Amino acid sequence: LSTQVTLSSDYPIKAQLDALVKQADAKGQKLSLSVSGSVGDLSLNATLSELVQAEIKGDIQPLKTQLPFDVAIKNVQAQWPLFGQSDYQVSVPSLAA
């Protein structure tokens, strides 16, 4: 995890998180997340890899009461159970809200 926050103006933020799940149910799942912008207008990019795969991009304005946001998810590939022979599979080329 690395972050940079400036305590002036509109509080610009820059953060990067790279995570590896070690819990048995999802062991090996990877998440890479970056957040940038200001406290009032954040942009995020995330990538899931290994067990579940997806690319996520979004914008959110957390200080507004309506909490406006845009999110786009693409290239989703997943199965259940996560390991071994799957009973269910999902493939989503793109989804937006």
The residue among 47, 50, 42, 91 whose CA lies nearest residue 67 is: 42
- Look up residue 18 and give its two tokens: 């790279």
Please, which pLDDT band fits residue 43 given cuts at 50, 70 and 90?
A: very high
Residue 9 above 90 pLDDT?
no
C-alpha angle with apex 10: 17 to 65, nearest 5 degrees? 85
C-alpha angle with apex 62: 40 to 77, nearest 5 degrees? 115
Rg (CA), the chain: 16
Q: How many domains does the chain have?
A: 1
Q: What is the DSSP letter of 87?
A: S
Q: Structural domain of residue 60, as residue ranges? A: 2-96
Mean pLDDT for the stretch of residues 4-8: 81
